[in-house]
Structure 1
Amino acid sequence: MPHLTSAPTVTGVRTAIGVPDYAHPLTAPAQWAELARPGTPLDWVVLNVAAGPGVRPDPHCLQAAGRLQGGGVRVLGHLDLAHGMRPFADLVTDAHRHLDWYRVDGFLLERCPGDRTELPDVRRVITTLRALAGDTHIVLGHGEHPCPGYAENADQLVTFRGSWADYRWSQVAEWTADHPADRFCHFVHGVPRGHLEEALRIARWQGAGTIYLTDRTDRGGRANPWETMPGHWDEFVSRVGTGVSE
């Protein structure tokens, strides 16, 4: 599928694509093959085998991850913090499995709490992950702006995850201006093809360096909008790839 071309949005922020979730490589081989196509402006791709690493090694996932890593793309293991309710030992077990079975380059800590009171527990998890893997890339999946202290502990924060209807009227927290754009991620579903450029403009103005925009919807909370490749994938990739900052 050839990428379309478009004029860049000039906003001072260079963007790349972060893929927060995809269907299993066995059921969606074409989607994973598309991700591995050379030249796709990917920052990272999350590997979510079965709400985490699963209970046994999966050769299909290992192959898909290896193909991306061979092309220079980081693969992150999915760890669900369950808003701070997940036992620490379970998180460490899942992290070991991701590292041993799939050789991941980092982790997306999904459903990460954002309150100041939860910060010490999240910091403990991050410190442990870095001890296990050394130079590992940590993304905190808050889905909204947390208290500023979280930015001091992770490589990136997901500060928006939601619908296009909410995103187009969203506001950015003032404290984010103290950090470079490559520290923040936005995931937006339900973005019509005709509004891709507007959505990209919002992301860049709000200082989000890693983004994922899809026309898929969550069907009122009944579906996962991230597991299927966007219908406007080619145009999305092209617009991100040409969006050079000035």
Structure 2
Amino acid sequence: MELTEDGDAAGAVGGRLFVPLYAYPGTEPELWAQVVANAGALCGLVLNPHSGPGGAVEPEFAAAAERLRTAGVPLYGYVDTGYGRRQHREVVADVERHRDWYDVDGVFFDQVGSAPELLPHYRRLAVAARSLDASRVAFNPGVHPHPGFAEVADLLITFEGSWEQYRELRVPEWTAGFPARRFGHLVHGTPVGRCAAVSDMARRRHAAVSYATPGSGPNPWGVLMPELCRTRQISGQC
């Protein structure tokens, strides 16, 4: 599939936004308030206190998680897998901490390897996560991996990168063998006027789940997309 259309800048946004909000609730409470206010547009939010759950529960993250749950937002605990280099027991320990401390619904496995020889490792992680009550398992290789990964994950992030890279994305034919709801695209450095269009672009690329932010730099996911700031403008963030 060779799809490079920019889509419609006025494209509908809602219901399938998957938000990696890597910001601290104690210092940026208005960002979290905006997400709660627009909960109906989200199909998930990644909770990431310290590139994972950290070494102890963070009360402000726990409070933010409770508000999001009450608003009906599915929560995914961020867990780094080191592209398959982290030991199984270390990764599973992070999954367990997210469950115990933040009562997350699912797990967002980040820095996921994409090669077929890593499939058994990630299959074991998915089984372990589900045995720890994760109702949803997301893998983020950030690229289109071996097709077997789509058989294991409930959500597979097949693109994470810049707007310019996204405009040139080519989608392999094998994705057509799976429902579009199994695929997600995360785009940063998006022009403010184009963030809403990414939702439509993702659908054209057989991905029902997406998120775009104008954020850039080391942590682009600390900036909300403008459409999630419609209830109250936040200076410097939207």
TM-score normalised to the size of structure 1? 0.84
Work out the CA distance in 2 between the residues paired with 1:231 and 1:7: 13
Instruction: Provide runs of 4+ in structure 1 moved above 3 Å.
Output: 6-9, 230-235
Q: Which residue of 2 aligns with 1:226?
A: 221
- How much has 1:93 moved relative to structure 2? 1.2
- Code of the residue aligned with 2:62 in structure 1: it is L
Q: Provide the secondary structure at the position in 2 that maps to 1:61.
A: helix
Q: Which residue of 1 aligns with 2:129?
A: 129
Structure 1 unpaired stretches of 5+: 1-5, 236-246
Work out the CA distance in 1 between the residues paired with 2:69 and 2:128: 23
Q: Which residue of 2 aligns with 1:170?
A: 169
Deviations 1:97-119 (A, max 9, x none): 11111111001000011110000
Q: Which residue of 2 aligns with 1:117?
A: 117
Deviations 1:64-91 (A, max 9, x none): 0111111111111000001001111111
Deviations 1:130-156 (A, max 9, x none): 1111x5210001100000001111101
- Code of the residue aligned with 1:19 in structure 2: it is V
Q: Which residue of 2 aligns with 1:238?
A: none
Deviations 1:14-52 (A, max 9, x none): 861111232111121111111111554101101101111
Give yes or no for contact 1:14–1:204 (8 Å, CA) kept in 2: no
Alignment of 1:1-246 (within 5 A): 8=11, 16-38=16-38, 40-133=40-133, 136-218=135-217, 223-231=218-226, 233-234=228-229
- How much has 1:224 moved relative to structure 2? 1.1
Structure 2 unpaired stretches of 5+: 1-8, 231-238
Identical amino acids, percent of aligned pairs: 38
Work out the CA distance in 1 between the residues paired with 2:23 and 2:80: 17
- Code of the residue aligned with 2:33 in structure 1: it is A
Work out the CA distance in 2 between the residues paired with 1:39 and 1:15: 9
| Higher RCO structure (Cα 8 Å, ≥6 apart) | 1
Work out the CA distance in 2 between the residues paired with 1:91 and 1:197: 34
Work out the CA distance in 1 between the residues paired with 2:84 and 2:70: 34
Work out the CA distance in 1 between the residues paired with 2:122 and 2:132: 15
- Code of the residue aligned with 1:195 in structure 2: it is R
Range moving further from structure 2, 154-163 or 201-210: 201-210
Work out the CA distance in 1 between the residues paired with 2:196 and 2:226: 15
Q: Which residue of 2 aligns with 1:240?
A: none
Deviations 1:195-226 (A, max 9, x none): 335433321100111111011113xxxx1111
- Code of the residue aligned with 1:179 in structure 2: it is F
RMSD of aligned residue pairs (Cα, Å)? 2.0
Change (3 A) 1:198 1:67: closer
Q: Provide the secondary structure at the position in 1 that maps to 2:33.
A: helix
